[in-house]
């Protein structure tokens, strides 16, 4: 049979496989880089000492008390990770989320400790009320209606941002999806003399089912209703551009799109339209899906996780917040 097989002659110019022949050639034509320096490592901080409480839905992650940060910083720095994103889990929650701007709270304490341990670590503080409110919503709730009220929430977000800037945060990152939150935080920071603290705005944030595991980790599941009256409909992309434009006009220094894997088109559109540094958040559910499939042996975890991260970079993100930061950094430093 073989000797009678007549191959179709391909024109010589149409052989893209030429550059895939060896790893050296593949590396030479690779368009997108993925390095430890592109990854932001999220941390969940609790009050108390000696605490490292594993988060069941997010294998490999734990709620940590401030005294456990030294070991963590040593580990991530050795891996080449430059930045962390902080969430706080307070012991006490109330209707206004007053713990969010308590200077003795877990986040300000963690910021101070991290900056003491390593001044060159880029410390980003998430600014939201949902971890601090008893009802778990991202803003103040009007008692009679259960509506999350926008404008009453703004000064509280401003107070939280100032509290974290005062503790030494390099960047504050509002994630509450209240209208006007960037302007309110900018004004609050400037009034308190933090003119140089940049704002990383969670500009386009979908009301996503993929935040499920995080809410367990941060103990921030809403006690009633959901977040669809303030977070965006996942069906919308043009609206994301409106949100981003507003945040840019209000003074956002850096932009974020979230989630990442289900919003690659939005990352790309924001990248093409806005010159600002762009961060994408590979959220807890994206991590949990990969972890669960890997645990069952259904996916090659290393390859699948690195592929998901390089895709987010390829879509246009400069930096990626990911629960895979440490593992990915480790994988990237070893061949295979």
Q: Which of 215, 268, 314, 330 binds ligand PBG (CB under 6 A)?
A: 215
* Beta carbon nearer to ligand PBG, 66 or 177: 177
Q: Which of 214, 230, 324, 331 binds ligand PBG (CB under 6 A)?
A: 214
The values of phi and psi at residue 104, to 5°, are -95, 5
Instruction: Classify residue 168 as exposed, middle or buried by CB count within 10 Å of its CB (0-12, 13-18, 19+).
Output: middle
Q: Would you count residue 330 as binding ligand PBG (CB under 6 A)?
A: no
Contact 138, 176 (CB under 8 A): yes
Contact segment (CB under 6 A) with ligand PBG among 47-55, 209-217, 235-243, 266-274 equals 209-217
The CA-to-CA distance between both ends of the chain, in Å, stands at 38
Is there a catalytic annotation at residue 205?
Answer: yes
Please name which of 146, 126, 159 lies closest in space to residue 222, comparing C-alpha atoms: 146
Distance, in Å, from the CA atom of 247 to the CA atom of 109, rounded to the nearest integer, reads 29
The CA radius of gyration of the chain, in Å to the nearest whole number, is 22
Please name which of 44, 82, 111, 85 lies closest in space to residue 282, comparing C-alpha atoms: 85
7 by DSSP, 3-state: which? coil
Is there a catalytic annotation at residue 74?
Answer: no
Distance, in Å, from the CA atom of 109 to the CA atom of 183, rounded to the nearest integer, reads 26
Closest distance between ligand PBG and the C-beta of residue 268, in Å? 21
- Catalytic residue, chosen from 74, 93, 258, 326, is 258
- Catalytic residue, chosen from 93, 115, 205, 326, is 205
Closest distance between ligand PBG and the C-beta of residue 324, in Å? 12
Residue 315: C-alpha distances to residues 202, 258, 309 (Å): 17, 13, 10
Q: Would you count residue 284 as binding ligand PBG (CB under 6 A)?
A: yes
Residue 35: C-alpha distances to residues 210, 231, 273 (Å): 25, 31, 25
* Beta carbon nearer to ligand PBG, 188 or 283: 283
Residue 118-147 contact track with ligand PBG, rule CB under 6 A, x = bound: --------x-x-x-------x---------
Q: Which of 83, 98, 133, 175 binds ligand PBG (CB under 6 A)?
A: 175
* Beta carbon nearer to ligand PBG, 118 or 169: 169
Q: Would you count residue 283 as binding ligand PBG (CB under 6 A)?
A: yes
Closest distance between ligand PBG and the C-beta of residue 289, in Å? 12
Q: Would you count residue 274 as binding ligand PBG (CB under 6 A)?
A: no
Helices 106-117, 150-167: crossing angle, 10 deg rounding: 30
Catalytically annotated residues:
205, 258
Residues that bind ligand PBG (CB under 6 A): 126, 128, 130, 138, 175, 211, 214-215, 227, 283-284
């Amino acid at each position: 049979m073989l000797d009678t097989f007549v191959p179709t002659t391909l024109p010589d110019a149409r052989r893209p496989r030429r550059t895939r022949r060896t790893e050296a050639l593949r590396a030479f034509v690779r368009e997108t880089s993925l390095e430890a320096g592109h990854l932001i490592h999220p941390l969940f901080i609790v009050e108390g000492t000696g605490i490292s409480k594993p988060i069941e839905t997010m294998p490999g992650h734990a709620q940590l008390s401030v005294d456990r940060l030294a070991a963590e910083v040593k580990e991530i720095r050795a891996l080449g990770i430059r930045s962390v994103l902080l969430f706080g889990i307070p012991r006490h929650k109330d209707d206004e989320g007053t713990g969010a701007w308590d200077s003795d709270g877990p986040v300000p304490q963690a910021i101070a400790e991290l900056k003491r341990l390593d001044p060159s670590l880029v410390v980003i503080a998430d600014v939201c009320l949902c971890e601090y409110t008893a009802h778990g919503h991202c803003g103040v709730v009007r008692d009679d209606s259960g509506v999350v009220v926008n404008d009453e929430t703004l000064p509280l977000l401003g107070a939280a941002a100032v509290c974290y800037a005062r503790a030494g945060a390099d960047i504050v990152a509002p994630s509450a999806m209240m209208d006007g939150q960037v302007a309110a935080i900018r004004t609050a920071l400037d009034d308190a003399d933090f003119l140089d603290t940049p704002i990383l705005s969670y500009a386009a944030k979908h009301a996503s089912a993929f935040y499920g595991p995080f809410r367990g980790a941060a103990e921030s599941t809403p006690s009633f209703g959901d977040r669809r009256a303030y977070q965006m409909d996942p069906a919308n992309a043009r609206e994301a551009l409106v949100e981003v434009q507003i945040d840019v006009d209000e003074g956002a220094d850096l932009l974020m799109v979230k989630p990442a894997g289900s919003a690659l088109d939005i990352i790309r559109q924001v990248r093409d339209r806005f010159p600002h540094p762009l961060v994408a958040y590979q959220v807890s559910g994206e991590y949990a899906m990969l972890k669960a499939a890997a645990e069952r042996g259904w996916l090659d975890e290393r390859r699948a996780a690195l592929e998901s991260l390089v895709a987010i970079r390829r879509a246009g993100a400069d930096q990626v917040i990911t629960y895979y930061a440490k593992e990915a950094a480790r994988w990237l430093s070893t061949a295979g």
